[in-house]
Chains A and B, each alone.
Chain A
């Protein structure tokens, strides 16, 4: 294993913005092999060394960092928190990067004029079985986040309906009553006649540089990582406290 492997998103806006952050900090990225390669090299470190780059999907980056297959990664906090409960034991959030903003929110149909808070939702969920013969159904791809957020509001009687795409359409399609979904501007929710509860923001997420607490770190790897963290404006102490050599 290289002293330092950094994973960045393999496509789209997240890839471009991740690369821009590194380039602005004076690093250069070279894709190895063809342009569609999954491996690359990061150059521009103060001491002239280089690090390995892995191009992965944002979800894989969260999982692989948690597993200890890579040292550093760039991915959304939502994906990190969705990967594992108590994820803070395995992953350290080193620096929010100011892009990839998205909120995970609880949204209900606009026509539910009587439901504006989690407390209202709890009230309504409690009567569901009695009134409609089944539990309240929540469409989401965020199982973990939904469960812990709802539990923190004392809400336990509902069912999650897993939704891997077009979650916001679930109420109109009749497959769920409400949604827990990601939104950056809220316009998709509005277009689907859904409103966010007043205290329905589960997580304000953005892309982060994350570090693995489970990977084997070498002192050379830590030096390289410290260089990256410092040059993108992060606090090297956070990194140092997350890493055991």
Chain B
């Protein structure tokens, strides 16, 4: 385990506790470099992350950064090691983030579980149980709050409601950023005619998609744009017709009203997690929709977790229907753990099945993980300032 200056400032007790935790759950402890290539972080999390990273430039002009989190370095480490799967990695060390106030450097520990292909809910439940166990290490009597979300239920709801693809993608992205009634209304409001500028010579081609596509391709060539290097005439035309085209977004006003009503109702589904399978089933019946296999998985994950965590299951274990993460590589359930009513979570995690492929894996690799902030753990936190 890495023991540099920051790590040394953590108490020996916390280091030993994590050593023991990783051993108990058969996690392979790994070290990753503090100075990382910035590219994988920016490619996956986007430019928005740059504002929170410390970046510098290497001698060959490559952009480097101080490790802003562990998930991506752990995944890259695995890809480079070419070892077999499944595999569970454990880590502990400093990460660096630009913050308005407070320290820029703080300790994180966590577990990333890669490549467990059978029944994903088993890996999900295992991981949540490890996180609960870890959060209770400094003080077994601490009061834990566990908040659970599952964006895959929302996605399935949209599929079941037969929402057209373009609108569906908009709703899913808005959901990741935090969807509420106001933003929902804005997305579902009709596009005004004056918001649809189109060069006059193309206007007459609106009802002939092929001719429109050809005209767009001609335009691109005339403007010196490559027809292949990025967006092509087909994609542009298709999206134009989908978003701005004469058929609007393929929904009547009645359809939209129903969609609005059901989604608002869904966003109000909050409460004790263990009651949720029944409430979601009731929701299906009331609105004549189906969450399909995603609801079964949700219920299985809960009962598996209850069985594993029988003694340590937090009394305040809630589900929030609007809980999601804005990163597009998160694909399934997400959770956050709070200790003694704190406002910021001590740990957060979820399923990110899409990340390994983005980072260069040839095959999809199912993955779940969580990170834990040591400075937010009561009894331990104060000592690593």
Binding site for B on A (CB under 8 A): 85, 109-114, 116-117, 119-120, 122-124, 126-129, 131-132, 134-135, 138, 146-148, 150-151, 154-160, 171-172, 174, 177, 193, 198
Q: Which residues 329-360 in B have Cβ within 8 Å of A in the complex? A: 358
Report whether A124 and B51 are in contact in the complex, using a CB–CB cutoff of 8 Å: no
Report whether A113 and B202 are in contact in the complex, using a CB–CB cutoff of 8 Å: yes
Q: Given A123-B170, A147-B51, are A156 and B196 also a contact pair (CB < 8 Å)?
A: no
Beyond A116-B244, A135-B47, A155-B48, 8 additional pairs, beta carbon < 8 A: A109-B225, A111-B223, A112-B231, A119-B170, A146-B47, A157-B46, A159-B46, A159-B47
Nearest chain B residue, comparing its CB with the CB of A143: B50
Q: Which residues of B contact A159 (CB under 8 A)?
A: 42-43, 46-47
Q: Given A111-B220, A113-B216, A126-B169, are A158 and B46 also a contact pair (CB < 8 Å)?
A: yes
Q: Given A172-B223, A174-B229, are A126 and B47 also a contact pair (CB < 8 Å)?
A: no
Q: Given A110-B199, A111-B216, A116-B197, are A172 and B235 also a contact pair (CB < 8 Å)?
A: no
Q: Is B328 an interface residue (CB 8 A)?
A: yes
Partner of A131, one of B47, B235, B358: B235
Q: Which residues of B contact A155 (CB under 8 A)?
A: 48
Report whether A109 and B195 are in contact in the complex, using a CB–CB cutoff of 8 Å: no
List 14 contacting pairs A-B, 8 Å CB cutoff, sorted by A.
Answer: A109-B220, A123-B166, A129-B43, A135-B46, A135-B47, A146-B47, A150-B47, A156-B45, A156-B47, A157-B46, A159-B42, A172-B225, A177-B230, A198-B195
Report whether B195 and A193 are in contact in the complex, using a CB–CB cutoff of 8 Å: no
Report whether A129 and B358 are in contact in the complex, using a CB–CB cutoff of 8 Å: yes
Secondary structure dominating the interface of A: mixed
Nearest chain A residue, comparing its CB with the CB of B196: A116
Nearest chain A residue, comparing its CB with the CB of B226: A174
Q: Is B163 an interface residue (CB 8 A)?
A: no
Cα of A99 to Cα of B43 in the assembled complex, Å: 40
Report whether B243 and A120 are in contact in the complex, using a CB–CB cutoff of 8 Å: yes
Q: Is B49 an interface residue (CB 8 A)?
A: yes
Cα of A122 to Cα of B47 in the assembled complex, Å: 13
Partner of A126, one of B173, B230, B358: B173
Report whether A172 and B224 are in contact in the complex, using a CB–CB cutoff of 8 Å: yes
User: How distant is B151 from chain A, measured CB to nearest CB, in Å?
Assistant: 15
Nearest chain B residue, comparing its CB with the CB of A85: B51
Most chain A beta carbons < 10 A, residue from B47, B196, B229? B47
Report whether A114 and B244 are in contact in the complex, using a CB–CB cutoff of 8 Å: yes
Closest 3 CB pairs of A and B: A156-B48, A114-B240, A172-B224
Cα of A117 to Cα of B243 in the assembled complex, Å: 12
